[in-house]
A and B are shown apart, each in its own frame.
Chain A
Amino acid sequence: MPHPTTDHHPSKILSLKNVGLYYSRRQRFLRRTRYWALRDVSFDLYAGETLGVIGRNGVGKSTLLRVLAGILAPDIGHVHILRQEMRISLISLGAGFVPYLTGRENAILSAMLLGATKNEVHERMKAIVDFSELNGFFDEPVNTYSTGMRARLGFSVAYHVDPDVILLDEVLGVGDQAFRKKSTDAMKKRIQSDKTVVIVSHSAPLLREMCNRLVWIEDGRTRAQGDVGDVLDAYVQSTASGK
């Protein structure tokens, strides 16, 4: 059995059983086909661990994250949530920002969309401003921001809303050099704390460094799961042999 590297009591917080999901795509007139992004995915998520998801490019991994976040419901199979009062959030960087509104107003909106109550947002506003390093710009309309600034704001909000389970979709490499370092460090700190994290990435070194366990998704199915090292080796081997 896998062992998360925290001294918390290892307990399951989430379990996917034979999850499958299709998208309907209209082909010809009145004909629809189903594209199965996920067919048969099963794995467990334990409190405090950092789970990696690896697999070839395709719609499957992002879809999986959306299923975990509760955005999409699977068409077959089940998602078992074993804890009450859990916030599971996708970290996205500043999409959903309303251009004419200020950074502050967007921060409030984003935070609330991520599940924070109005009070929680106000409590953490100072921390959000400080971390984003936006200073005076915080009260300027967001359409005057550079992409990097938008990313910093988005990240700062997501970080401070502090969901119980963090879902990362290869998001750590955004922003300029300095901020990237800061956000990566901040993320790593969060990750090594008692937060549960699921990271989707192509970067084997990143996954090897950050994760306890890894799930390999291939063709919409769970190909392997287990210790990071073992699964990565198998994955690398299979892609190298041109599968």
Chain B
Amino acid sequence: METKNINIPTMSGLKARTAKDKKYLFDLVIQEAWAGLRAEASRGYLGVLWWVIEPVMYMSIFYTVFAHLMHRGDENYVMFLLTGLITWKWFQATVNTGASSLMNNAGLMNLVYVPKIIFPLTNIAVNTFKFFIILALFLTFLLFSRVPLSPVWLLLPVLVAAQLLLIVALTCLLAALMPFFPDLRVILDNLLLMLFFLSGIFFDISQLPASIRQYLVLNPMAALIDMFRALLIKGLPPDWQPLMLVVLLSLLILTVALRLLRRFDRVYPKIIY
């Protein structure tokens, strides 16, 4: 009977050494994510339907306010706005809840050893699953609205992967830091609010003067949203340079995050209780 290698307490912190260990971690994240989704789905009367209704509600509100109340809207504005909203929502929901993922699991981490990275990863898996549902619906909506299906759409997974990398990096970093600086919670809430307005969800970044635009595109989400729009609505492939910069930035942040999570892997249960 084979036993798991992963539970040996070593002084050097945890590394998922073998392929077997990695598979175990992967299985665990999937199992936990599935449990989280099932738990959500059995709440209330509408359960699983909320995964569709909630984003639809969210998007309708913005559309009503901007297209009708503020008279910004032409038909294209709907696509424009919604592309920004669904990609932003994925980013914001994951980073916001994922940042607290370690803090929320005080009980579990004090009962059994798990590599702490499990917690943000599970959170990311749950939110990304929900995003895929909305994305599928949105793509269907686009096709029905006579937006041309272009072969450029094959590059969509590239953009999704880039945003996923960014999300994973930021979520892991924030989750790793939050136990040491709980004040980050408040700072993060407001930072995300600020980014929400600065990410070009309501306005087109490319229409702004260069002097302002150069600062706005420093925000990776603004750059990504612009690329999503260019791809889905105008049928243009993404600009490789800013895309590579986003990926590079994400990898940098991820490296720091992983170091922190490993270094403090057996310290977190002490400070989160």
**B266:A72 contact, CB within 8 angstroms:** yes
Using CB atoms, name the residue of chain A closest to B43. A100
- Distance A99 CA – B40 CA, assembled complex (angstroms): 11
A10 interfacial by beta-carbon distance below 8 Å: no
Q: What's the least CB distance linking B144 to chain A, in Å?
A: 35
Interface residue ranges of A96-130 to B (CB < 8 Å): 96, 98-101, 105, 108-109, 112-118, 120
**A115:B11 contact, CB within 8 angstroms:** no
Q: Scoring B residues 29 to 51 as 1 if CB is less than 8 Å from chain A, else 0, what string do you get?
A: 00110011011001100000000
Q: What's the least CB distance linking B129 to chain A, in Å?
A: 17
B241 interfacial by beta-carbon distance below 8 Å: no
Cross-chain contact of A69 among B9, B10, B27, B267 (Cβ < 8 A): B9
Interface-located stretch among B90-98, B109-117, B230-238: B109-117
Using CB atoms, name the residue of chain B closest to A158. B112
- Distance A214 CA – B118 CA, assembled complex (angstroms): 36
- Distance A73 CA – B271 CA, assembled complex (angstroms): 12
Known contacts A81-B9, A164-B3; is-contact A118 B27 (Cβ 8 Å): yes
- Distance A71 CA – B271 CA, assembled complex (angstroms): 12
- Distance A88 CA – B271 CA, assembled complex (angstroms): 22
Q: List 10 A-B contacts (CB under 8 A).
A: A66-B110, A72-B269, A73-B265, A73-B267, A89-B112, A96-B108, A101-B38, A113-B28, A113-B114, A164-B3
Using CB atoms, name the residue of chain B closest to A108. B31
- Distance A86 CA – B5 CA, assembled complex (angstroms): 7
Count, A-B residue pairs, CB within 8 A: 107
B58 interfacial by beta-carbon distance below 8 Å: no
**B112:A87 contact, CB within 8 angstroms:** no
**A70:B31 contact, CB within 8 angstroms:** no
Q: Scoring B residues 1 to 15 as 1 if CB is less than 8 Å from chain A, else 0, what string do you get?
A: 111111111110000
Residues of A within 8 A of B38 (CB): 100-101, 105
Residues of A within 8 A of B146 (CB): none
Residues of B within 8 A of A163 (CB): 7
Residues of B within 8 A of A117 (CB): 4, 23-24, 27
Interface residue ranges of A117-166 to B (CB < 8 Å): 117-118, 120, 141, 163-164
Residue numbers of A with Cβ under 8 A of B are: 21, 23-24, 66-73, 78-79, 81, 84-90, 92, 95-96, 98-101, 105, 108-109, 112-118, 120, 141, 163-164
Residue numbers of B with Cβ under 8 A of A are: 1-11, 23-24, 27-28, 31-32, 35-36, 38-39, 42-43, 107-114, 265-267, 269-271
Further contacts, 12 of them, CB under 8 A, given A79-B9, A109-B31, A109-B32: A21-B270, A24-B270, A72-B266, A72-B269, A78-B11, A86-B7, A87-B3, A96-B111, A99-B39, A100-B39, A113-B114, A116-B4
**B108:A85 contact, CB within 8 angstroms:** no
- Lowest 6 A-B CB distances belong to which pairs? A70-B9, A73-B266, A100-B39, A70-B113, A115-B4, A100-B42
Residues of B within 8 A of A67 (CB): 9
**B4:A113 contact, CB within 8 angstroms:** no
Q: What's the least CB distance linking A236 to chain B, in Å?
A: 31
Cross-chain contact of A98 among B28, B39, B113, B270 (Cβ < 8 A): B39
Residues of A within 8 A of B269 (CB): 66, 71-72
**A69:B39 contact, CB within 8 angstroms:** no
Residues of B within 8 A of A105 (CB): 35, 38
Residues of B within 8 A of A71 (CB): 109-113, 266, 269
Known contacts A92-B112, A105-B38, A114-B112; is-contact A70 B270 (Cβ 8 Å): no
